Structure formats: C-alpha cells, structure tokens
Structure 1
Amino acid sequence: MLCPTRTPRSFLRFASTAAKNSSTLLRAQLDLNAIVVQSDAYKESINRRQLPRSLIADVDFIVENRPVQSQTYTKINALKRERTELAEKIQKKDPNLDNVKLRLSEIKSEIKPLEKYVKDLQEEIYSRAEALPNLIDSTAPESATEEELVQYINTSAQEADNFVGSDSSKDHKTIGEQFGLFDFTIASRISGPSWYYLLGDGALLEQALVQYALSKARQHGYKMVIPPSIVKSEIIQACGFKPNDQNNEKQIYQIENEPRSLTGTAEIPLGALHSSTIFPSSTKFPIKYSGVSRSYRAEAGASGKDTKGLYRVHEFTKVELFHFTNLEKAADELEGIKRLQLEIIEDLGIKARLLNMPTSDLGSPAMKKYDIEAWMPGRGSWGELTSCSNCGDYQSRRLGIRFNGKDDKVSHLATLNGTCMAVPRVIVALIEQNYDRENDIIRIPKVLVPYMDGKDSITKTE
C-alpha cells in the first residue's frame, strides 16, 4: 500500500549517500533486481556469515518495496501524462477550462508528495542493499565456523600434530630483543602500545622480504604500484571496509575533521585505481597489480589478544596483490593467487598450512577466501600469514569499474586480492622457526640471502 503523504521514520534512520553521485564516485551500481530474484541466497549468505538478523529484514524490505517503487513511478508517470494532455486542452481553449485548470492544480499537489516518497524510498532501498554482504561461492566450506584444511606446506600432518605442546620458551619478541632486531619499550613510550622499532638486521630483514616479494610478483606478471596510504573515507566504504567490526571495535583510523582515513591495506587504493572506469572491449584481462605500502590497523591488540610482539600491530609494511578480471575468470584467478602465495611460503621454508576459510570469517565483499597460517611456537598456535579473496563484482559495483563486453554490453568486473607479504607476521614465523638454539643464530632462508647483504644468518650484535 502506498503511503506518499509523509516520510517513514525508518527512512530517517537509514538515510545515506548510497543512492547519490559524489565528486569521487558514481552512486553504487547495485543489482537490485538480483537481490529480489535471489533473496533466499542473500539470506543464506547472511546466516552463514553469522551476521546480524537485521540484514535479513533489509532483504525483505527490498523484496517488498521494489514493486512499490515501480508502482509509484507508474503513478507519477500517469499523472505527468495527464498533465501534458490537460496543458494541450488549455492551448486549444477547451470549453471546460475551469475544470481543466482545477485538475492541473490537483495533479501538482498529488505529484509532489509522490516524488518525495519515491525518492526517499529509493534511497532507503539503496542504503539497505549497499549494506548486504556478497553471495557465497559454492566451494566455500559448508560450516560457518570450521575451516577446511587443504594442505600442509613444508611439513606433514604427523609433524603438525606434534607442534602443539612443543617448546615455546622463546618467542620472537624475546629472541629478537636479544639479537637487537627491534625495540618495543621505546616505541611504546614514543607512540603507544602495539608500535615498534625495527633495528639493524631487523630493518634489513623487512626490506629483504619486501624486495623478494616484489621480485616474485613481477615474475608472475604483476605491475608494481606504490599507492597512497590515505584515501577518502567513501572509497574505504565502497571497498567493503567498515569503521567498526562486528564486535563494534574500531578498525580504521579516520582523520579528525576530514573525510579521509588511513588504509588498513593497499587493497583499498589498488581497487580504487580504476574506479569510475569503463575498459574498452580490447582490454586483456586479468590486470594484475602488486602494491607495497604501510598499513594501519586501529584494532591491533583489541580485546587483549596478541598484544605481545609483532603479530598484531597498528602499523606495518605489506605487499598486496590485486586483480581486475572477468567474472567468468574470477574463480581461476583466485587459484592463481593461491599458487603464488604457496610458492612464496614454500621458498621461505616456513612450516604452514593452507585453509579454505569458513563463511563466518569472510568479510562482506568476499565470496571465498584462502588463508595460509604458519606454526608460531611463541604463540603456541597457528597464525595467519596470507589471505586471498574473490570479491566477485561487489567492489566494482561500488567503485564503478566496468568493461565493454560482447555486443558492447557494459558489465562489471570481478576484483580479487591477496597478501604477497605481510612483513611483521612473516618475521615472527621466520624467527621462531629458524632460531638455532644450539648455535644461537637465526638462519636466513636462501631466497633472502641476496637481499640480506649475503648473510645466511643473523647473529647477536655487541
């Protein structure tokens, strides 16, 4: 039932700029009809991700109100046609001129509230649709909470079973401080908890990992990019990153009194590199970028977890992989990113495991995600080193990234992202797995030696 006389209270609560263009981005180019047709699949995605039930209500609202929106436009168009016909009658000196003018006045009073109603309704539909997560790939695990083990890397299932309960008397923080690789005490005084100084061979190790990762990426056809690490907040939103996580803990550093934020990953500016772009039909996909940048995470050490050492910090260097490709190629591209990540971890000699991640671990844009976790004796558990995700057209619809396909039909691209090198966590794994207690040295993987001034080990400095 149409209620065009006033704006519903809920409109005020959900008002946003999702349905509007800005100087940076076009409005989110959402497929509202797909949400209506695939409403059950969207509800399943929400449930399997263990997201708030209010999102189910958003799907229902869209399904119920898309026809209302269409009916209202039909009503408005009918009134406008009637208005045109009456205007012609006035020009022709219709004998019932007074009645014609009266009806014109009535039409004006009828159209104005209808136009306001349908405009508000459209904005709420867009706001609710923009908040929905992506659909889930059919090859993601059935369980919402249990990951699927794909394979072990540089170790066996039998050896991995023996990791738990192994000697964890020396973690990377203890070892690294003894070797003069980093200083947390001074950094805490200067910057606060979860910041750090890398010193000497610790700083050299970071640069070695970055240069090695970029070299591997170039070998696999990636174009290097050094992106900005501050972007407009609407870009972060369009990429699917929210200011707060599901536990309402702050994730993103927003710049006070400015519509800009620090990026938590180069994925964001890399995704925006082709925002508001239509690629010509001659474009060869995939387009692959490797971006190195500093990354900033406000939630580091949240809830008292992993507050010790380098595992969870506020600022770090990261090499990111990003793909633009056709939707039909996206699943294969994800496997390609995964293979490169496996190659890097294998070459570094890190004992790790590859996981197909459960649906509750997927961010809103991701349809499927692989993680590689290394065994970290100091934590007494596995710790994430890399992840890679297929985001389908979730980000491209919000960033306005399209291409001319068959018969010059404009379609949205798929975007994919993956970690090439998250430096601090790889340092954690390398130190804890490669510390030679007997000789009191930290062994350097062979692939890093050329980037470490020829050193095959790190020794204590006087």
Structure 2
Amino acid sequence: MSETISAKRHARSLMGERIRKSGTDAEAKQAVLNDAKALKAEIAVLEDQLEELDSQLFTLALAIPNDTHPDVPIGPESESVILSTHGPDPLPASSVRDHVSICRTLNLLDIEAGATVTGSSWYYLINEGALLEQALINYALSIALKHGFTPVTTPDVVRADIASRCGFQPRDHNSDPPTSQMYHLASSHTGSHHPELVLAGTAEIPLAGMFANKILQPDDLPRKLVGLGRAFRAEAGARGTDTRGLYRVHQFTKLELFVACEARASEAIMEQLRQLQIEIFEGLGFPFRVLDMPTEELGASAYRKYDIEAWMPGRGSWGEISSTSNCTDYQARRLHIRHRPLISAEPGPSLPFAHTLNGTAAAIPRLIIALLENGAEFGLEGSLRRINLPIALQPFWIGGSKRELIQWV
C-alpha cells in the first residue's frame, strides 16, 4: 500500500508538467485538472486506509509479550516453584482468625460504610487500622531508603497510552463481554486532542513513565526509585473468599520499587530486589514463601517474576503479598527509555534501551491481613484479647494505642 501511495504521489507531482504541456488547449488542460482532482481523492482514501492499517499493526505489536527467562517454569500457576520459606511455622487454619471478624470486634475496618459511600470492595480503615497502614508505609520506606532508593510520590492519574506501553491493558477486548481493567476518567473536553486518562493500577506505571523519551547517563544507572501511590483495580476479582474483606479491593495504598538499569545488570538487580523484599517481610514476623512464577502468570511485560505469599490462617491459605518482575527492555522500547553505555566502544547500538524492573515493597491491605490473622491473641475462653504486632513497626507507630489493643513482640 505504501508503494501504491508513493506511485500516485509521484504521478500527482507530474501534473504541473502536463498542464504546462497542454499550453493553450483548454480542453486538454481541464482533462489534466480532472485527473489531478481524482488522483488527490484516491490518495486521500489510501492515506486513511494506511493510517488505519498502521494503527492495527501497532496494536498487534503492543500485544506481543516479552520473551521468557529459560529457567521459568512452564504452565499455569500450579507449576510455580517454591524458592525459599521464611518466618515461624504456620498456625493452623481457623475461621476465628478471619481478619474481617477481628476488625469488626476491634473496630478497625468499616466495610459497610464503604459500600454505602462507593460500593462493594471499598472500605474505611479506622482507629489502629489506619495507624497500622501508616506504620507499614514508613517501615517499608525506611528499608528501601537504606538500600539507596529515591523516594517519590506519584500521580494516581496517568494517560491510558502510558499504561498500555507499560504492559497494562486499560480495556480487555478479548474477554466476553469486554471489560475495563482500569477506571477511566470522563473528560469534559470534546475532541480527540485530549488524551484518555485512567487511574493507575500500580505506581509502577507513573514511575516508568518518569523516564519516557529520556536518555539516561552512565552515572545515573541504576536509577532506583521507591514510589508511594494508590492502586486502583476496576476488576476486583472473582466472587468468594478472595473478595472477602481486604484481600481483593478496588483501591489500596501501595509502596512500589522501580529500577532502570543496563541490560547486563538486570538479572543481578532482580535478585537484589528479592532480598530487599525478604528483609521487609522477615521484620514483620509472619510465615511467607518466595515462588518462581510459571509462564502463564508472567503477564505481557515480565521476563521473569517472583511472587511472595504469606500464610493467612483466617483465610486458610497462602495469599500473595508481593511480586518482583524483570521486564528487560519491554517497557523501555515502548516508552523510549535509552541510556548511554558506560563504555562507548562496546558492540551494539550507541543508545541501547534500558532494562526496567519493579517490585512491591508494601501492598498495605494484604500485609494487614497477614499481621492480624497471625498476630491475634485469644484468651482461654476464646475471646479476642489483643493483637501482637512486630516490634519493627513500633518506631513508626504514631500516637500509641489508648485502647491497649497492641502488644509489641
């Protein structure tokens, strides 16, 4: 099609010469003008068709997932490999340790008010529940800062195009019926020149977007950021135990680790992120395990992904609290994030694409579940007495607990 358009444009460029050759022959000149008009219309139609075809090809190209690390297990979630286990022995599963029951007894959570004000899977954290969120944020942030991460507060609203380039599809057109995976903001402006905006599903998106269309200098690498934002998920999940309480909600606070680095450094940095996350969660004192996730769980952008799951006795199962992904140059190619090589004589492009990695430092609701369900202390008669929280959080606890519900252990 491009060749056809080029040929017709060339033919149009010759029309002036044909008109000059027609001289004073008005009939011949008019025939050339008619040909030029028809050619102009043909080119316009072809250009529209080419633009539509380019858009379709670009959409298909964006849908191509990243390559996969050769050591990644092949198959569904059940094929994940446990790399390590940490913390104390898991407590027996027990419905009395259900975090919703604990929160209602101690007045830490108001789901009913959230449903009234917004809808299902929205909530209020109150009293010590709200203080626990702040303590967890600052505790995890302090460890990230110790490891050289730069703190960032991110915008919660991003362009849909930026989300797509990061590997997040604002709309899932393959589902039946098509669903929206993100919250889309209605615009009061008319016209296509205003970008489509969505609420970010994770701070990873605005953190990656910080580097869009930039060339990073060798002295800047690796760039390590820890970003605090709200995560918004339009599809909160299937019905059942996964949607009970805080486990799967539409909005939550999330502290995210993000790194941009050279290609040769990304695998080593992924292991560093894993060790940092282990340090954070070991300080919280609950049982957890690290999993190497299989191919069907990687999503579009991840070359390799580790998940961390905590034991949640009230739910009677392991629940994901964190993940770490090496996206190699998948996001960088789509966002045009490049860097100058440290050694200019190295073979390869003069401005290679960076590698990007991300990991969860603290997904607050999941951590609250793990802490409450593992830390609840019951009396001989079975009544809930208090919550044992790790002493690592105490320096970050604001205002104490007048109700004496918290025991630091």
Q: TM-score range by the shorter chain?
A: 0.7 to 0.9
1:448 corresponds to 2:393? yes
In the superposition, the TM-score normalised over structure 1's length comes to: 0.72
Q: Compared with structure 1, are the counterparts of its residues 87 and 311 closer, same or farther at alpha carbon in structure 2 (3 Å cutoff)?
A: same
For the 8 Å contact 1:443–1:457, the answer to whether it is kept is no
Q: Distance in 2 between matches of 1:115 and 1:193?
A: 48
Which amino acid counterpart does residue 232 of structure 2 have in structure 1? Y
Describe how 1:417-428 pairs up with structure 2 within 5 A. Answer: 417-428=358-369
Q: Distance in 1 between matches of 2:235 and 2:46?
A: 45
For the 8 Å contact 2:8–2:39, the answer to whether it is kept is no
Partner of 1:166: 93
Determine helix, strand or coil for the equivalent of 1:321.
strand
Determine helix, strand or coil for the equivalent of 1:449.
helix
Partner of 2:377: 436
**Offset at 1:174?**
0.8
Partner of 1:293: 229
Which amino acid counterpart does residue 336 of structure 1 have in structure 2? Q
Describe how 1:315-334 pairs up with structure 2 within 5 A. Answer: 315-334=251-270
Q: Compared with structure 1, are the counterparts of its residues 176 and 305 closer, same or farther at alpha carbon in structure 2 (3 Å cutoff)?
A: closer
Q: Distance in 1 between matches of 2:2 and 2:405?
A: 75
**Offset at 1:79?**
7.8
Determine helix, strand or coil for the equivalent of 1:311.
coil
Q: Compared with structure 1, are the counterparts of its residues 322 and 89 closer, same or farther at alpha carbon in structure 2 (3 Å cutoff)?
A: same
* Aligned partner of 1:371 among 304, 307, 312: 307
**Offset at 1:150?**
0.7
Describe how 1:35-434 pairs up with structure 2 within 5 A. Answer: 109=39, 112=43, 118-145=50-77, 146-155=79-88, 159=89, 166-245=93-172, 247=175, 248-257=178-187, 259-280=196-217, 282-405=218-341, 406=344, 409-434=350-375
Partner of 1:22: none
What does the per-residue CA deviation read over 1:302-321, in whole Å, with 9 as the maximum and x for residues that have no partner? 44452221111111111011
What does the per-residue CA deviation read over 1:288-346, in whole Å, with 9 as the maximum and x for residues that have no partner? 10011122111224444522211111111110111111122211111111111111111
Which amino acid counterpart does residue 450 of structure 1 have in structure 2? P
Q: Compared with structure 1, are the counterparts of its residues 194 and 89 closer, same or farther at alpha carbon in structure 2 (3 Å cutoff)?
A: closer
Q: Distance in 2 between matches of 1:195 and 1:114?
A: 50
**Offset at 1:454?**
8.7
**Offset at 1:169?**
2.4
**Offset at 1:138?**
1.4
Which amino acid counterpart does residue 285 of structure 2 have in structure 1? G
**Offset at 1:207?**
0.5
- Pairs aligned (count): 379
For the 8 Å contact 2:74–2:296, the answer to whether it is kept is no
For the 8 Å contact 2:93–2:315, the answer to whether it is kept is no
**Offset at 1:264?**
1.5
Gaps of 5+ in 1: 1-71, 93-97
Determine helix, strand or coil for the equivalent of 2:308.
strand
For the 8 Å contact 1:182–1:199, the answer to whether it is kept is yes
Q: Distance in 2 between matches of 1:257 and 1:114?
A: 32
Partner of 1:58: none
For the 8 Å contact 1:387–1:419, the answer to whether it is kept is yes
Determine helix, strand or coil for the equivalent of 2:281.
helix
Partner of 1:43: none
For the 8 Å contact 2:378–2:386, the answer to whether it is kept is yes
Moved more, 342-351 or 300-309: 300-309
Q: Distance in 1 between matches of 2:255 and 2:6?
A: 53
For the 8 Å contact 2:160–2:170, the answer to whether it is kept is no
Instruction: Calculate percent identity across the aligned residue pairs.
Output: 40
For the 8 Å contact 1:355–1:370, the answer to whether it is kept is yes
For the 8 Å contact 2:241–2:315, the answer to whether it is kept is no
Gaps of 5+ in 2: 22-27, 189-195
In the superposition, the TM-score normalised over structure 2's length comes to: 0.81
Q: Distance in 2 between matches of 1:430 and 1:313?
A: 18
What does the per-residue CA deviation read over 1:146-204, in whole Å, with 9 as the maximum and x for residues that have no partner? 2111111114xxx55xx6x6333231111122122222222222222212221221111
Which amino acid counterpart does residue 420 of structure 1 have in structure 2? A
What does the per-residue CA deviation read over 1:87-138, in whole Å, with 9 as the maximum and x for residues that have no partner? 999999xxxxx9xx99xx79x9599377666554433322211122112121
